[in-house]
A and B are shown apart, each in its own frame.
Chain A
Amino acid sequence: MIPSPPTPRPRRRPGLRRALEWVFAGGTGALAVLSALVFVAILAVMVHNSYPTILHYGPGFITGTVWDPVTDVYTGAYPFILGTLVTSAIALLLGVPISLGIAIFLSERVRGWIATTAAAGVELLAAIPSVVYGLWAFVVLVPFMRTSVEPALHTWLGGVPGLGTLFPATHSGTDVLTAGIILSVMLIPTVSAVSRESMAQVPGAQREAALALGATHWETTRTAVLPYARTGILGAIILGLGRALGETMAVLMTIGNSDAVPTSLFSQGQSIASAIANEFTNASPKEASALVEAAVLLMGITVLVNVIARLMVRGLFRAPEVRA
């Protein structure tokens, strides 16, 4: 005998139920639209606030080299743009090989608790706030660069024709190179974690096939894993670039904050982000508008870089839709 089901509770009126459905969907939808609109609002406000500068300078803003708060003359943000690009380039140059080494080691060469623990250790680098990186770099790294690394670089490379001008005899430790180095450390956790994730997506059969053909572990990584994970790794690098371009505090505390165009790796300079942090509070209206235009440029570059990166790593973090 099947026991008879308990009498169902009387149902709510269908009209009320439909109304509640609409209120819930509409309410959450409105909040989703609001979240998305924040970006549009940021873009609109920034462009609006720098409109006088944009009209006044036009595209020349990117190439103009004079930025002088003392006489209140600004022809362009070239020094900051250069500072941003050079520090990020150094960061990628130094940080990416190390990150890839970490990713390869943790994904291909070790297993078990060593891999998990080491991965957790590397990820903890991401838990250190950027201002602490900045303070550490300012107090520990800068003197080390000034007394040891930069004199050595000058001795080794200063005499090389062409390249030598990048490593002059005068150096202070607070410069473009130091900022690039601290940025390179800061992008290691991001780049290594995302690359490792994309290597983990490579099917095991791919590796087994290479091993079965007699390849060593390194040959397996090089021929079977890296080509397969290429897009994800490139995405990881670009994601790291996005982080380096927009970083403020660590750069502000190491780059020397000079408005002149950097001429060597030992030149003091300024990135767009550090210039805003350094000068906005005391800026004249004219400078403020120019700084906001520089911010629009920075935002344009980082957003573009992030969009490209996310398109490349898409699917990595998107869980497969489980269907019954």
Chain B
Amino acid sequence: MPGTVSIRRRVTDWTTYVLCLACVVFAIGILVIIVSSSVQHALPAFQGSGVGLFTRAEPLPCSYAPGGIPCNDFGGIEPVLEGTFYLMVLASAIAIPIGVLAGVFLSEYGRNPLGRTLSFLVDVLAGVPSIVVGLFIFSVVLWWQPTIVYSVISGGLALAVIMLPVVVRTTEESLKLVPQSTREAALALGIPRYRSILQIILPNGAGALVTGALLAVARAGGESAPLLLLELQPRIGFTGWTHSIVPIPLLVYLWGFTEPNANWQADAWAAAVTLIGIMLALSLCARFLLKRRLPGSGM
């Protein structure tokens, strides 16, 4: 009965529809604009270096180089790929095992006041701004080993602190999705509790664990604020765990924001495009795994 709804109400309904749609279009438009303008700014670097962008060391613009030094206007970002790799390996090696086991405890033994308190504190840790984590690691390493304040180790520690709460909470939440009856069935068969956790409950939630790890890696891999305090800028490739290193996001800041040379700026944009690519891939993987998990998880 179309006549029963007044014109005014129908217009309101239609207007709100259009306004809400406009919000969605705006958000996706911003995404498209940021990605396309990054690609556009990075084009000179891609054209100048081609695939060499990912294999060559940083450029030394000929206008800067004193006579006699071999110079190249188009270098690459290979050293920062190394930087991100080594920092993430270290951070993951620390945060993922600790986080998964801590999450196991909170899910399997933590349904009591102690578990809830620990869980709450981990949540609070997730809310600490990353720059504060950088300051914290700076202070701790300065007190522990003053010579390695600016190093892969200190940067990796900071990223591990950022990853830790993500890993703990996703592990905890995904293991809680494993039906209680599975636990009871394992216990009824006389399997020791630790074995039922390791061989039955963990494999059941494995997809979610991988998703959690991916999300944590994505969060830490895009992080540059704490590394601003923990890495010295001039040296950018990997020369040892106790030496400073620059990962992709930090290069985006250093060359994009503080460097006037156009070639280096183009390289910064190329690094930004690479970073966006990695992040989008990680987030699509996480989304795919999550979708596959849901139907079979009894939800």
Contact = CB atoms under 8 A, between A and B. Distances in A.
B253 A135 contact: yes
Contacts of A46: 132, 135-136, 139
A27 to B, nearest CB: 7
B22 interface: yes
Contacts of B210: none
Contacts of B229: 276-277, 280-281
B24 A122 contact: yes
Interface string A158-202: 000000000000000000000000000100110010000000000
A133 to B, nearest CB: 7
B121 A218 contact: no
Given A218-B12, A218-B17, A129 B24 contact: no
A49 B27 CA distance: 42
B173 interface: yes
Contacts of A102: 20, 23-24, 27
B194 A319 contact: no
Contacts of B20: 101-102, 104-105, 109
Scoring A35, A139, A253, A319 by chain B CB atoms within 10 A of each residue's CB, the highest score goes to: A35
A248 B131 contact: yes
A221 B181 CA distance: 38
A46 B106 CA distance: 27
A128 B99 contact: no
Given A29-B109, A35-B165, A98 B180 contact: no
Contacts of A318: 173, 176
A322 B298 contact: yes
A295 interface: yes
A209 interface: no
Contact of A20 (B161, B194, B221): B194
Contacts of A33: 118
Nearest to B160: A38
B13 A216 contact: yes
A292 interface: yes
B18 to A, nearest CB: 10
A21 B249 contact: no
A217 B136 contact: no
Given A46-B136, A218-B13, A292-B135, A29 B105 contact: yes
B177 to A, nearest CB: 5
Contacts of B33: 140
Contacts of B130: 246, 248
A190 to B, nearest CB: 12
Classify the secondary structure of A's interface with B: helix
Given A122-B28, A218-B17, A249-B224, A45 B139 contact: yes
A298 B109 contact: no
B279 interface: yes
A21 B193 contact: yes
Nearest to A185: B30
A35 B102 contact: yes
B103 to A, nearest CB: 8
Interface residues of B, number: 99
A59 to B, nearest CB: 21
B47 interface: no
Contacts of A245: 129
A63 interface: no
Interface in B170-200: 173, 176-177, 179-181, 184, 192-194, 197
A205 interface: no
A126 B287 CA distance: 13
Interface stretch (A227-235, A261-269, A301-309): A301-309
Residue among A42, A123, A189, A323 with most chain B CB within 10 A: A42
A276 B272 CA distance: 23
A120 B291 CA distance: 12
A310 to B, nearest CB: 6
Contacts of A76: none
A35 B118 contact: yes
Contact of A273 (B129, B177, B272): B129
B43 interface: no
Nearest to B273: A132
Interface string A29-40: 101111111111
A307 B280 CA distance: 29
B122 A132 contact: no
A295 B5 contact: no
A17 interface: yes
Given A28-B104, A122-B28, 10 more contacts: A28-B102, A40-B121, A45-B140, A128-B279, A132-B38, A216-B5, A217-B17, A281-B229, A295-B135, A318-B176
